[in-house]
């Protein structure tokens, strides 16, 4: 299962320009706004789970964040981000792993996931994700997570997705996390399409 998933995503990042994929954002505005509102110090440890080639880490390095990690199942995605960052790439910890079987060796203050959890359509995959999340966070840690909303697309990158409203998404994590904030976002794809996203900020009890 993991091999097929990895091959799918490796192929995506090997064959498509990072700024042509449907999830591309010139600037990760909703994530940056959420982080601004949380008023975290730049020393906070943040992991971008399934970060792919996102420029979130670029923007956070510019803002002086000093403890940044990016995890993705697809090494070619991380290579795109590293090439873009050049020398600054050394300031980020890069992790190639399937989050559903990954066991973090440390805690993060912020667990950021834009458009990854919604690919986990099987209960055991979501359980694996929750296990990683709980191992990688501590009381007070924050999760910023975005999935397709109920009126969002049924598929992404050719794969089926599970869509969530705020209540359903928060319920996935309610054993350990409390919902602090939620909002919807209309993402415009590079091709000009519109995709409804549901965002949640959750805090670990």
Ligand X SMILES: C[S@@+](CC[C@H](N)C(=O)[O-])C[C@H]1O[C@@H](n2cnc3c(N)ncnc32)[C@H](O)[C@@H]1O
| Residues found near ligand X in the complex (CB under 6 A) | 5, 9, 23, 50-52, 54, 72-74, 77, 98-100, 114-116, 119, 156
Task: Give the C-alpha separation, 158 to 107, whole Å.
Answer: 33
Number of helices followed by number of strands (H, E) in the chain: 6, 9
CB of 112 to ligand X, least distance (A): 8
* Min CB(43)–ligand X separation in Å: 23
Closer CB to ligand X, 44 or 145, in the complex? 145
CB of 100 to ligand X, least distance (A): 5
Residue 2 near residue 74, CB atoms below 8 Å: no
Judged by CB, which is closer to ligand X: 51, or 140? 51
Angle, CA of 10, 163 and 167, to the nearest 5°: 130
Q: Taking the complex as a whole, how short is the minimal distance between the CB of residue 149 and ligand X, in angstroms?
A: 15
For ligand X, the closer of residues 74 and 149 by Cβ is 74
| Residue whose Cβ sits closest to ligand X | 52
Distance, in Å, from the CA atom of 103 to the CA atom of 177, rounded to the nearest integer, reads 19
Map residue 131 onto helix, strand or coil.
Answer: helix
């Amino acid at each position: 299962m993991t091999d097929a998933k990895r091959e799918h995503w490796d192929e995506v990042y090997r064959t498509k320009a990072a700024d042509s994929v449907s999830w591309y954002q010139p600037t990760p505005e909703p994530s940056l706004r959420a982080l601004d509102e949380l008023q975290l110090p730049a020393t906070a440890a943040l992991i971008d789970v399934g970060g792919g080639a996102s420029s979130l880490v670029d923007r956070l390095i510019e803002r002086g964040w000093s403890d940044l990690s990016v995890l993705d199942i697809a090494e070619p995605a991380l290579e795109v981000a590293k090439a873009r960052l050049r020398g600054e790439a050394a300031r980020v910890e890069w992790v190639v792993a399937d989050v559903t079987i990954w066991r973090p060796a440390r805690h993060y203050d912020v667990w950021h996931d834009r458009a990854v959890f919604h690919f986990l359509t099987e209960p055991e995959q979501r359980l694996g994700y929750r296990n990683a999340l709980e191992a990688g966070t501590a009381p007070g840690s924050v999760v910023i997570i975005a999935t397709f909303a109920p009126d969002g697309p049924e598929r992404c990158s050719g794969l089926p997705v599970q869509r969530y409203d705020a209540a359903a998404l928060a319920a996935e994590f309610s054993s350990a996390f409390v919902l602090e904030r939620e909002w919807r976002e209309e993402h415009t794809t590079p091709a000009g399409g519109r995709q409804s996203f549901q965002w949640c900020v959750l805090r670990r009890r």
